[in-house]
Amino acid sequence: KIEELNNVYFMGSKEYDILKNYASKMDILTIPFVINSITQATSPLKLFEYMALHKPIVTSAMNECKNYKSVKTAENHEEFIKLLYDCDKLSKDKKYIELLDKEARENDWGHKADLIIEMLEKSEGGKKNEIRSYI
C-alpha cells in the first residue's frame, strides 16, 4: 500500500548502474531491514556504497551495521524516525563526513584485497612476491 501514501512516489525498477545518481540526490540514506536471523547474518554492501557517497546513514539494528561509528542504527520504529531527524544535522558535519570517508576507504575492495594478501603472506612465511604474482 506504499503507493497510496501522499508523500511517496514509486518510480519502478531502475538499472543498478544508475542508482548512485538517485542516491546522490538524497539527504539521508537508509537500510530499513526487518530484523530476523537472515538480516542479522547480513553485511549489506549498500552500506559501503552509502559511506562513499558521504551521506548520513540510518539502518535497522543489524549486527554488521553496529560495527561502524558512521552508521546510526535503530532498535525500533520510533528510534529510526528520531535518527532520521538527528542525521539531518550530520550532513554538514565535517568530522562526520571524514568518518564516512575513512570507513568507506577501509571497506573498499582494494583495501580488502590488501588485507587478504597480507594474511596470506603471513601464513606462507612471507612469500610476498609469489602471492602477489598470482593476483
Helices (H), 24-70: 37-40, 46-52
Q: What is the DSSP letter of 34?
A: P
- Measured distance CA(49)–CA(101) in Å, rounded: 11
Which residues are registered as beta bridge partners of 31? 59
Q: Return the C-alpha cell found at 103.
A: 570507513
Categorize the per-residue pLDDT at 122 as very low, low, confident or very high, splitting at 50, 70 and 90: confident
Entry pTM: 0.77
For 45-98, the pLDDT digits (tens) are: 889 999 999 999 999 999 999 999 999 999 999 999 999 999 988 988 999 999
Residues 6+ apart with CB under 8 A from 133: none
